[in-house]
Structure 1
Amino acid sequence: MSEDIYDAQFVKGVFDRCSGKYIAFSLICSFGFTERWRAQCVGMLPDPITAGARGYDLMAGTGEVWPHLLKRFPDVGAITAVDISSGMHQRAIERLHAHRAHRIAFIEDDVLASDLPDASADFVVSTFGLKTFNRDQHRRLAALIARCLKPGGVFSMIEASDPKGWWLRPLYLFHLKIVLPTIERVLLRGAQDFAMIGTYSTNFGDASAFAEMLLAEGLEVKYRRLFFGCATAVAGRKPEALPAATL
């Protein structure tokens, strides 16, 4: 029987093994777009995030979104990073964010299994982690975000996506399925793991279905396509008070 690529331990193994070279691979092979998209994801967070605000970076990876978040909101009180990969977090602290460590806590766990408190977050962000979940897991994630946000809390999440309808889509898919695994096999010597990132991305499609799931949880949601749909994002807010159920 083939392995379930969405099983939490399978995902952990992939990203633990990728962690040492993930930052360079992501930046080079996306031609720098991943960094730009992280900045845009933070830019999509609705105002206000007040001084001392506390929130979550889900599927936090190497923490590359933290500089963008702290630049836009320098008075953020604390970020709790949740990720299943200990290797990715170690990389984040050692190479990127040692001087920010006092403002960042880490939970090493499957996000969907994490016992995050209700109404505990002023904000939730996530960059390039949605693809590692299947459709049922996306529904559970949408419910978790709605539960963890405080009334008035905000969120923004972005993911690399399949640009269906774009005339250059065949070139994009060639880059994703042929060029990236070749680069990895020749230069990084770990084709199975980095190639999985491409598999997750093509399986994901785009964030439109996830946007509907967030709406179903009572959140205010805006869906956005970036660079002809090569990335898609969802952002919005938890209402101050959810509307009363109609009879």
Structure 2
Amino acid sequence: MADIYDPGFVKGVFDRCSERYIAFSLIFSFGFTERWRRQCVEAMPAPSAEGARGYDLMAGTGEVWPHLLKRFDGITAITAVDISSGMHRRAMARLHAHRAHRIDFIEDDLLASDLPPESADFVISTFGLKTFNPAQHARLAALVARVLKPGGVFSMIEASDPKGWWLRPLYLLHLKTVLPLIERLFLRGAQDFAMIGTYSTNFGDASGLARLLRDQGLEVRFSKYFFGCATGVAGRKRGSSTPVTA
């Protein structure tokens, strides 16, 4: 049985999904993914540096960049890091050609990358956390702590399992049954979009990642969105005068 968290497996899933990912994500999340991206940006403390530069990790199609650049217009450069070159090509062709001078791309297995220490004023990530298992989340937390400058800020969000919500059975039915059925009937690459539901339910929520980031010495706030259908972490690397309340 394939290891669904193996970098090669993840790359294959998202390369095959890339052509239709933007529309599929928006329509079949009923627009919530776009709302949650905006809320992820709103949760991130303002970068303190003039001309801030930072990373979008597991950047996908870059749909967070308009929200990021609108809220923090002093950002001069975003380096997108993603294992799927197909997702990035789609991002630049469909959404961001006019922002190309502000966006660089690194195609790499993030956890094997050599991003320089203390090289980022900010780190953001939207809907990539689910593609890592708990051991990989520990490595991700260490990487975020390493690449942030003192006082650097971060925000990350992921679709989650809303345990305790009375409509959870319908939510899981949507992820595990409806989406795979739609894919088989209308989309090429059967099971690829269905894997997104599998990753999301396996992920649980971002509370475990919050603990791992705190273990790395970062100030962290954990948040739930829409009854826990998405969860996020945001905060700052110590060295700033502006604390983040846990």
Identify the TM-score tier after normalising by the shorter chain.
over 0.9
Query: Cα deviation per residue 1:173-209 (whole Å; 9 max; x = unaligned)?
Result: 0011111111111111322111110110010000000
Write the letter of the residue equivalent to 1:150.
Answer: K
Counterpart for residue 172 of structure 2 = 173
TM-superposed CA distance for 1:6, in Å, is: 0.3
How many residues align? The count is: 240
TM-superposed CA distance for 1:48, in Å, is: 3.8
Could you tell me how far apart the structure 2 residues matched to 1:13 and 1:47 are?
Answer: 35
Could you tell me how far apart the structure 2 residues matched to 1:45 and 1:71 are?
Answer: 13
TM-superposed CA distance for 1:49, in Å, is: 4.1
The percent of aligned pairs where both chains have the same amino acid is 78
- 1:165-244 mapped onto 2 (5 Å cutoff): 165-240=164-239
Counterpart for residue 147 of structure 1 = 146
Write the letter of the residue equivalent to 2:197.
Answer: G
Please give the secondary structure, in 1, of the residue aligned with 2:18. helix
- Normalised by the size of structure 1, how large is the TM-score? 0.96
Could you tell me how far apart the structure 2 residues matched to 1:76 and 1:48 are?
Answer: 9
CA contact (8 A) 2:69 2:75 kept: yes
Counterpart for residue 109 of structure 2 = 110
Please give the secondary structure, in 1, of the residue aligned with 2:75. coil
Please give the secondary structure, in 2, of the residue aligned with 1:60. coil
Query: Cα deviation per residue 1:88-147 (whole Å; 9 max; x = unaligned)?
Result: 000000000000000000000011011000000000000000000000000000000000
Write the letter of the residue equivalent to 1:110.
Answer: D
Counterpart for residue 59 of structure 2 = 60
CA contact (8 A) 1:224 1:234 kept: yes
* Runs (5+) with no aligned partner, structure 1: 242-247
Kindly indicate whether residue 191 of structure 2 is the aligned counterpart of residue 160 of structure 1: no
TM-superposed CA distance for 1:64, in Å, is: 0.3
Counterpart for residue 51 of structure 1 = 50
TM-superposed CA distance for 1:11, in Å, is: 0.2
Please give the secondary structure, in 2, of the residue aligned with 1:35. helix
More displaced 10-residue stretch of structure 1: 79-88 or 69-78 = 69-78
Query: Cα deviation per residue 1:130-169 (whole Å; 9 max; x = unaligned)?
Result: 0000000000000000000000000000000000000000
Counterpart for residue 41 of structure 1 = 40
CA contact (8 A) 1:49 1:123 kept: no
